[in-house]
Amino acid sequence: MPPESKEFKGDSLRETTGELFPGQTSPRPQAGEGPLADRMRPLTLEEFVGQEDLMGTGSALRRMIEEDRLSSVIFWGPPGSGKTTLARIIARNTGSVFLSYSAVTSGLKEMREVMSKAREIRYRSGQRTILFIDEVHRFNKAQQDAFLPFVESGDVVLVGATTENPSFEVNSALLSRSAVFVFKQLGEDEIQRIILRALERDPELSSFRIDLEKEAMDFIISSSDGDARRALNTLEIAALMTSTGENGRKVVGIKEVQGALQKKHSAYDKDGEEHYNLISALHKSIRGSDPDASLYWLARMLEGGEDRRYILRRLARVAVEDVGMADPAALIQAAAAREAFDFMGMPEGDLVLAQLTVYLAMAPKSNSLYVAFGSVLRDIREKPLFPVPLHIRNAPTSLMKGLGYGAGYEYSHDMPSKVSQHSFFPEELGERVYYHPSKEGREKVIGERLKEIREKIRKARGKNMSNVQRPTSNEEKGE
């Protein structure tokens, strides 16, 4: 038998049989009392499906739950991967007071009252409180800071669930006091096990006497994107929409499933981590000259509702960072794409983004300009800001001429080689070589031209134009 848990609500403390939410009178909703996903939620670790890396026999998290030694944790993973389900299982396997709140509906004042009560309970009885916060990323910094003294003192064991990267959404002080467990998207086999179990065990579904065709099963699985809740919701709606046949059974086919699903949901948050994951995938696919993968990631962003102008800005960045001087026309194409998109509007304008994406993916690649500019910035930031040499200063007044401004300047067009004998760098800095053209595309021709120019400079100035070491930091590699 699991240890008896206690659940606190407001000023009352009542013993329960492990139910997670106040007022729940049975461990699992009965037929018709809630959605299928809630009715089929596992109650024990043995029933829990997925997350083998976290919940396998002997794993740290499983032992913490089984031995009722849970410390503050953050469950991070996609929707429908089992975060809230595991919290409910913890509620049934702990002798602690177990409280559950949602960051969507709970405020700072309420949380402070709850945690103060938890401290009082611990002082009176020595019993700790496990506080489950769903969607903890929705709490702002001030709300998250309010947990710190109670977590530090051990009055509260925090269990936070989030779909967002806690590195971005949970403040560092709270994060450092919590173990982060990463939940993975459920696999197809795991979704199928969940569906089959629902067909077999749920009283309401079994009363329908359902035959789920394989094509319909496969479609539910592929459309769920690893989200068990979405798969079960689709199954339930499809079953309700299906008419009973003459044999008293319901045959749920792909038409019924498609009708229930209507439109596949895209797991995309324009302000969350998936936003950065997808734009990174798009950028790197173009950089890797893969037009097919590039179009795939572009379409994922478009279907997710991403701001088209944001994508256009990022594609313009690709044009200068990764294509660069290997095809200077890439930047012209990016500018033209923006104008064409504004002219055409949506949805036709999405084809403009698709064309620009393929153009950039197929263009020759060079980051030489990007690396060169990074080298220049590093010199400026790390070395003194030396004065402009007198000979290349303008001298609009007689006073400035008298101070030597412009003295000795050689007009390059008048020089036999079209280059000056004098350096344009500050004398203290010395001659520098930042730009190293690649041999890709148009830049190969540019490189040959630059080689001629640098040879003329060497002869005119009598200096060896030695190369400087190329930058190797991740930032300058475009990571």
- In this structure, the answer to whether residues 147 and 234 fall within a common structural domain is no
Between vectors from CA 353 to CA 318 and to CA 275, what angle results, nearest 5°? Answer: 65
Q: Considering the chain, what percentage of its residues have pLDDT values greater than 70?
A: 86
In which element (H, E) is residue 60 found? Answer: helix 60-66
Indicate the pairing of strand 12-15 with strand 6-9. Answer: antiparallel
Q: Which of 182, 205, 229 is the last residue of a domain?
A: 182
Which one, of 154, 1, 16, lies nearest residue 97 by Cα?
16
Which one, of 33, 24, 204, 5, lies nearest residue 94 by Cα?
5
Indicate if the alpha-carbon torsion angle 450, 455, 456, 460 is positive or negative: positive
- In this structure, the answer to whether residues 178 and 218 fall within a common structural domain is no
User: Which long-range contacts does 346-354 make (Cβ < 8 Å, 24+ apart)?
Assistant: 346/308, 349/308, 350/302, 350/308, 353/298, 353/302, 353/308, 353/311, 353/312, 353/315, 354/295, 354/298
CA 213 to chain centre: 36
Q: What span, in angstroms and rounded, lies between the C-alpha atoms of 122 and 280?
A: 47
- In this structure, the answer to whether residues 305 and 330 fall within a common structural domain is yes
- In this structure, the answer to whether residues 37 and 145 fall within a common structural domain is yes
- 29 occurs within a structural domain: yes
- 280: domain CATH number? 1.20.272.10
Please report, in angstroms and rounded to a whole number, the separation of the first and last CA atoms in the chain. Answer: 52
- 239: domain CATH number? 1.10.8.60
Q: Which of 182, 213, 231 is the last residue of a domain?
A: 182
- 472 occurs within a structural domain: no
- 382 occurs within a structural domain: no
Cis amide leading into 347 (omega within 30): yes
Q: Which of 149, 182, 215 is the last residue of a domain?
A: 182
CB 103 within 8 Å of CB 170: no
* Secondary structure of 123-177 in HEC code, one letter for each residue: HHHCCCEEEEEECHHHCCHHHHHCCHHHHHHCCEEEEEEECCCHHHHCCHHHHHC
pLDDT in tens, 179-219: 889 998 898 899 999 998 888 888 777 777 888 888 888 88
pLDDT in tens, 95-118: 777 777 777 666 777 777 777 887
Taking only Cα atoms into account, the Rg of the chain, rounded to an integer number of angstroms, comes to: 32
Per-residue pLDDT of the chain (479 residues; tens, 9 = 90+): 444 444 433 333 333 333 333 333 334 555 445 788 888 888 888 888 888 888 888 888 888 888 888 888 899 988 888 888 888 888 887 777 777 777 766 677 777 777 788 787 777 777 778 888 888 887 777 778 777 877 877 778 888 888 888 887 788 878 888 888 999 889 889 999 999 888 888 877 777 788 888 888 888 888 888 889 888 888 888 888 888 877 778 888 888 888 777 655 555 555 566 778 888 899 999 999 898 999 999 998 888 778 888 899 999 999 999 999 999 999 999 999 999 988 887 778 899 999 999 999 999 999 988 988 888 888 888 888 888 888 888 888 888 888 888 888 878 787 777 777 777 788 888 888 888 888 888 888 888 888 888 888 777 777 544 443 444 444 444 44
Which two structure tokens, joined as six digits, stand for 459?
């002869």
- In this structure, the answer to whether residues 146 and 174 fall within a common structural domain is yes
- In this structure, the answer to whether residues 123 and 153 fall within a common structural domain is yes
Task: Report the number of distinct structural domains present in the chain.
Answer: 4
The pLDDT value given to residue 104:
67
- In this structure, the answer to whether residues 18 and 108 fall within a common structural domain is yes
212: helix, coil or strand?
strand
Burial of 329 (0-12, 13-18, 19+ CB in 10 A): middle
Query: What letter represents residue 478's amino acid?
Result: G
- In this structure, the answer to whether residues 195 and 253 fall within a common structural domain is yes
Which one, of 267, 236, 266, 242, lies nearest residue 37 by Cα?
236
CB 472 within 8 Å of CB 374: no
The pLDDT value given to residue 463:
57
Domain that holds residue 212: 189-261
The pLDDT value given to residue 312:
92
pLDDT in tens, 13-36: 333 333 333 333 334 555 445 788
